Amino acid sequence: MSSRQLCVFGVENLRFGIHVAEVEEVNRRYDMTRIPLASDAVAGLINLRGRIVTAIDMRQRLKLPKVEAWEPFHIVAKTRESSVSLLVDYIGDVIEVSEDAFEPPPETMREATRELIRGIYKLDQWLMLVLDLDRTMAFGAR
């Protein structure tokens, strides 16, 4: 039975995971430069040791309400093409899940969430949504 390790993070009441090999770093703050006329989901650009990385507001990307005085965490992760910083509410642990427990996204899930995930893991107390970084970066491509 094969397994994989996922880095857990959350946005509102949703718990997501991405493969630990995709995570470059986690940080509380970066200086961000806003981009005029960009999608609402693009919070800005960060300079990560000389690399320019797009910061995605996951609340906006998931069509969730804005929160006053929001101080998100940044999860810098690798996509196929580049890196991205995901702005999220909280960071969890790294967990190990069995590949046998992986399931496709349920049809009953909100479309804004379902279109961004590869599938789910049903854990003891909650659902782990496996985020697809490339889909998360594809604004208006669908």
pLDDT tens for 45-54 read 999 999 999 9
Only one residue has tokens 């300079």, namely: 47
Residue 66: the pLDDT is: 87
The CATH code belonging to domain 3-137 is: 2.40.50.180
Cα distance between residue 141 and residue 122, in whole Å: 29
Averaged pLDDT score across all residues of the chain: 91
Half-sphere exposure of 89 (CA within 13 A, CB side): 15
* Alpha-carbon separation of residue 129 from 6, 36, 40, 103 (angstroms): 10, 31, 23, 10
19 band by pLDDT with thresholds 50, 70 and 90 = very high
Residue 14: the pLDDT is: 94
Residue 50: the pLDDT is: 92
Cα distance between residue 67 and residue 13, in whole Å: 13
CA angle 129, 134, 135 (to 5 degrees): 65
Residue 34: the pLDDT is: 93
Residue 29: the pLDDT is: 84
Cα distance between residue 139 and residue 95, in whole Å: 29
As a whole number, mean pLDDT of residues 100-128 equals 90
3-class DSSP state of 4:
strand
pLDDT by residue (tens digit) across 45-95?
A: 999 999 999 999 999 999 999 888 889 999 999 988 889 999 999 999 999
Q: Domains of the chain: which residue ranges?
A: 3-137
Q: Is the Cα torsion angle 79, 81, 83, 85 positive or negative in sign?
A: negative
What's the pTM value of the predicted model, to 2 decimals? 0.90
